[in-house]
Each structure stands twice: as C-alpha cells, then as structure tokens.
Chain A
Amino acid sequence: MPEKEFRAAVIGLGRMGSTFDDEITRGGQFFMPYCHAPTYTASPHTNLVAGADPHAEQGEIFAGRWGLERGQIYADYREMLQAEQPDFVSLCTTARHRAAIMIDAINAGVKAIWAEKPFTLSLAEADEVLELSTRKGVAIAVNCSRRYNVSFNQARRMVDEGELGEILQITAYTQCNLSHNGSHAIDAMRYLVGADVEWVFGEMESDERAAGEQDLMGNGYLAFDNGARGFIRGSPTGAAPWEFDLIGTEGRVRNLAQGMETQYYRWVPGGLRDEGLPARAPFPLPTHIPSSGLSVIEDLVDCIKTGKQPRCSGLDGRKALEIAIAMRESHRRGGRRVDLPLTDRSLRILSSEIRSDAVPARVRRLQSNRVAA
C-alpha cells in the first residue's frame, strides 16, 4: 500500500463503519464511496491503518474485507488510539458512546474526527466535546451527508449566489425519529436556508413519547434569523418520502424521493393575470460529481491545513440536536414557542439507534431474519 499523508482508523466496525455502501444500488442520495472504511481506502489522502470494536467477529469481518492484519484490529479503542496514533478517526459505534470516545480521541491527539450522527445524546455532552475540540484544535465533521451531496451543494450555491432570490421557506417531509434521521433532516434544512434557527414550535407523536427521553417522531415550525421559515413533518409522510422544498422569491429547488430527483423552478412570463409562472428548468449540475465520502475527507484535510470549520461541523451537529430537543420541549410545555439556545443542558434524546446496542446491528438483523423465516 502506498504511503499517503494521513493515518485513519475506524471505531465501530459495523454498518456505517464498513458495509453500508453494499445496500445502495442507485445514485442520487449517495454517490460512492460513502461510508467510512471504503472512503479511507479510496481517498488519496488516507491509509486505513486500524479498526476497533469490542465484538471479535466484527473485527474479523472488517479485517478480511479491508485487507488489515489481525494486529491492526483492537477490542479496546483506547489501546488502538495509543498504539496507532491515527490522524483521522471515524466514530461509527452506537451513539451511546460517541461523546466519550470523541473525548478520548481528542485527548489522544487525533487531528480530525469523522463522526456519525447524531452528534451526541445530550446537549451537555455536545458542549463538552465542542469545548475540548476547540481548545485542542481538532476538526470534527458530522456525517450529515447531504452537505456532501452534489444536489444539496448546488442548491446551497444557488442560495449563496442569489439565484433563488431571497429565501422564504424550507419544507421537509422526512419521516424520522428526531434524533436518529431527524439529525439529517434538520441539518439539511439549516444548510439549505443558510441561517440559524431562533425559535421553534413542535408537536410530537404523543404526550407519552414527548414526556420521555426515547427518540420520537414529531413535526415542527422553525423561525430562522434571516426571516426564512421552516416546516418539518417527521411523522409519517406517505407518498412524499424524504423531500426538501426550498422556496425563494426568484426560484425554487425541490429534492424528491430520498434524493433521487432534484427539480429547479424559475419564473417565466405568463400566468392567470400575467403575474408570471414558475416553470421547471433543468437543475444545474457541476462538471464533476464528487463521491460523498471523499468530499468529507477533502473537507477535513482542508480543515487540518487551514483551521476552518468542516462543512458539517460539530457545531452543526449540536444545533440539529438542540432544535429537535426544543421541538419536544414545545410539546412538553403544552404547545408553545421555545427560544434557542436551550438553558437546560441536561436535556437529551436517546437516539433510536442505541436500542439493543449491546448486540451488533448485523447480528440483530441476522436474528430477525431467522425469526422472519
């Protein structure tokens, strides 16, 4: 293997760490390589040098797949950090341990972290990680992958260059639990609008769910500091699966059906009273379609060299969590507007991905297939 500039390690050797790309047979939402190990292997900047996972079988499969030696697989990630001194580390474990592992990785001297979402479970954890990473100058990219997807990048470029005029509205029809895939939905809304949320109103799927800390579905109204307004429907969306609708005074971009189609509308003359009509125009593509995962690495390499923040930073990860929690607070308070930031930092959402996380997801899937068969 040729020596590349950065040594990369993956912690958590399951689906996002290793095999997720196998599930995807069509482009649009993702362009390959996307998940962590295949990206480190493909990137011109990184060598995949180690993996860590407490489950021995996960480590064996990972080593076999990515051509690592037994000695490069560790049961204890702390040992791995100590022995391998990686520059990049990917956090692909259950979200339950993410904050603690990020803190250990920063203290072990890594240069950059590529973390799965949600960023953390509680706001206090997020605060602690961000304080430490800032102090130590470690770049953290959260894998809210739409920020590294060409359609979303182009939509944001159109916003930045004024092609859509003043941005008025972002609507998301995204069935999700608000921490788990809600991290993606809320982050994509913030990214497309290019502004921050000042206050929210939310309705959760039930009073019982809102009262607890388990991950939950809900809808929300978001007021952005640039005057834009957002509506997210995280409860079931039926025949509108994963859709973002970005509306400006001069144009509109709709991302449909889990990113499989992106539409662009702009004004043409005509209409009932000659007030103009919105007509669909070809969505402008760049001359090159980047791979989602490789874009994250490019971004992080840039951060290491220049000290800038990643396109989806730890701050963005915390904001997505805080907006989700504030929507739940709105429901808890009987349906009222909740201002950001939240004062109670102990608030948290137990992301649905941490359920049953004592057993690797791969094994849980095998077991449920056996039950189904």
Chain B
Amino acid sequence: MSESTYRAAVIGLGRMGSTFDDEIRQGGQFFMPYCHAPTYVASPHTELVAGADPHAEQGAIFAERWGLEDKQIYADYREMLEAERPDFVSMCTTARLRASIMIDAINAGVKAIWAEKPFTLSLAEADEVIELAARKGVAIAVNCSRRYNVFFTEARRMVEDGELGEILQITAYTRCTLSANGSHAIDTMRYLAGGDVEWVFGEMESDEKAAGDEDLMGNGYMVFDNNVRGFLRGTPTGAAQWEFDLIGTEGRVRSLAQGMETQYYRWVPGGPRGRNLPARAPFPLPTTIPSMGPAVIEDLVQCIDTGAPPRCSDEDGRKALEIAIAMRESHRQGGRRIDLPLPDRSLRLLSSETANDSVPARIRRLSGQ
C-alpha cells in the first residue's frame, strides 16, 4: 500500500459532506467516522485540504468545523480543482450536478472520486462518466455504504465461502424512493446475491408517478444471472423497517431494523418430520469492526495502487439506477418483464434529493421545509 498522504477535497459542504455523523447515536447501520469530511480528517491516508460550495455560509461553517483557512474554501469547484489539485474528491452536492462535476474532476486530474448516491440521474450521464473514468484510470467509489458495513461484508464473505450454500433469495423491505434511498436497497441486494440482474418486474406507487420522471416508491421482482431471485418492497413497510433477508440452501442472514441487528440461521436436527429446523446461531463477527468512511478510503487507495475497481464502483452505481428505471419501465408498459440492459439511455429518475436543491438542506431544515 502507498505510504503517501493524499490531498482530499469535498465538493458540497452540507449534510453528507460535513455533518451527517452528528445525527447518529447508535452503531449498526453506521460505524463512525462515516461521512466525508470527518473521514478525510481521521484517515491516515488523507489530508483534508479544501472545500467548495456556492453558498458562502456553508463554506464558513465547514472551514470552522474542520479547521480550514478561508482561502481553502471555494465558491466555484472548478477553481478549487485548478488551484488545489486534489487527489481525492468527494461529491456531496445535489445529485442534479453530480455527473458534470465528476466529469470536470476527472478532467482536472483527480486520482479517485468518492461520490454520494445516486450515481447520476440518467443512464446517459452514467455512461459518459464511466467511459471517461475508465479512459483516464480514475477510481470512483459510490457511497452505497452497506458495502463498507461489517455485517454486510461478513454476510458477503459467508456467501463467497459457501457457508450459506447456494443462494436462492434476497428480499428487501426498504421503504424508499427508488433513486434516493433505493440506490442503497438495490445495490445491497446485488452485493448480497453476488450476481447480476437479468430482468425485472415492477409495480410503482401509482400510474401518475410511473409516467413521470420524479423519484417514486415501488416494488419489484428481480431475476439474477446466478438464479437468485429478489423481491424489493420500496413502498411503505410498516413494522418491517429496512430489512434484508438473504436465504441460501444451508443458511440465512437477516439484517433488521435499519441494520441494528443481524441474525444468522443454520440447520439443526429436528422438525415435525425429521427434516431439520433452521436455528439461530451467533452472527460471526471479524476481530475488528472497521469504520465505514476509512474503509472507503482504504478501498480507494488500493484502487489507485492496483487499478482494481472499488467495492462499490461506478458500474455498481449505474446498475442500481438501471434496475430502478427498469422497474418503472415495467409498470409503464402495463406490468411486464423488462430485460436489462435498457436500450433507451435517455431514461432518468429525478432523485428526490434534488427537490428544492437551490437552497442548502440545512437552511430548508431550519425553516421547517
């Protein structure tokens, strides 16, 4: 691993860029540090050298919090890229601008991008960013954070080591609009199933929402190329909040209540006709619990050194978006199976996080919007 310290900059100095970790008081879904600025400050690989945000007050708060000088804060991210020449850049703006900022950052010569989700709004944008990043050899990690969470990485290890047998089913009860937090839900399903989605069926919350481009809730059925089947409930889930259920022939892992509990089941002798019973066993933990933000940095440093793709890559970001759009297409086409990839690359989902994004989310929250 490289011994050098990388220069890191954050673009978009709001919640994910700076303050998200303040909201979290219990471990499980996240282990701290998690969001961008606190991670760059804590990581032995990086030094936080700059921030960029068109809203001056956001910059002032950020500089104060993370000990930067006024001149390290830029209103224009292009100026920042030019002046600071960062190695790492974090994309924490509204998703509306993400693709164009990623393109500018790649062209400015960054080594690695740590991007918030959703990756982009349209498939065409995703294609363009991925093509450019591949050509310029820039690693892009998308912050679908469960890939950097110990319970999910252990579950995936169990899949790869065959401890769950052949994987049959992944179910997600994850109330979400399909782009905003659906990116997390769909990416996690792909990560746990360890296969790729060949076709989907979807039902959206209404015909009206399905006809438009605005982000929306919906449910879907997914067919993976390794024969796993997925069921996603993104419509309201009541007393089953953010849950993943991974079922194999030999074992099962359930992540419950927004990741606050993870359960492991395996066969024991017994049952009404001696056909055995699934019994709950302790979930196997590794000997260290990694912080999630620093785990992304470790991953990206390795990508810079070896050229390997990140654990949650730009390709993964595009696939989550494409699956969400395909579920909506299924509804639009009267409830029919939709094969991937989608030929129409102009299709897009206006992630719900882009609503009212001309005002920083902090201000919107203060004014009760």
Contacts and interface: CB of A to CB of B under 8 A. Distances in A.
Interface stretch (A68-76, A92-100, A130-138, A332-340): A332-340
B247 A173 contact: yes
Interface size class of B (residues with CB under 8 A): 35 or more
Interface in A285-321: none
Contact of B168 (A25, A165, A235, A248): A235
Contact of B239 (A239, A248, A271): A248
B171 interface: yes
Interface stretch (A59-67, A257-265, A365-373): A257-265
B271 interface: yes
Contact of B237 (A173, A247, A251): A247
A221 B221 contact: yes
A275 B241 contact: yes
B229 A252 contact: no
A241 interface: yes
Given A260-B277, A271-B257, A249 B239 contact: yes
Contact of B235 (A165, A229, A334): A229
Nearest to B167: A238
Interface string B206-240: 00000000000001010100000101010111111
A139 to B, nearest CB: 30
A148 interface: no
Given A173-B169, A257-B271, A238 B239 contact: no
Contact of A199 (B165, B247, B335): B335
A168 B237 contact: yes
Interface in A225-267: 229, 231, 233, 235-241, 245, 247-252, 256-258, 260, 265-267
A171 interface: yes
Contacts of B273: 23-25
Nearest to A233: B169
Contacts, number: 151
Contact of A272 (B229, B237, B258, B267): B258
A35 B227 CA distance: 38
B34 interface: no
B20 to A, nearest CB: 12
A29 interface: yes
Contacts of A199: 335
Contacts of A233: 168-169, 229, 231
B221 A241 contact: no
Contact of B223 (A203, A236, A260): A203
B334 interface: yes
Interface in A1-53: 23-26, 28-29
Interface of A: 23-26, 28-29, 164-166, 168-169, 171, 173, 199, 201, 203, 219, 221, 223, 229, 231, 233, 235-241, 245, 247-252, 256-258, 260, 265-267, 271-273, 275, 277-278, 334-337
23 contacts: A23-B273, A29-B272, A165-B238, A169-B240, A171-B171, A203-B229, A221-B219, A229-B235, A231-B171, A231-B231, A233-B231, A237-B169, A237-B247, A238-B248, A239-B267, A247-B240, A249-B238, A250-B238, A252-B239, A256-B278, A271-B258, A272-B29, A278-B239
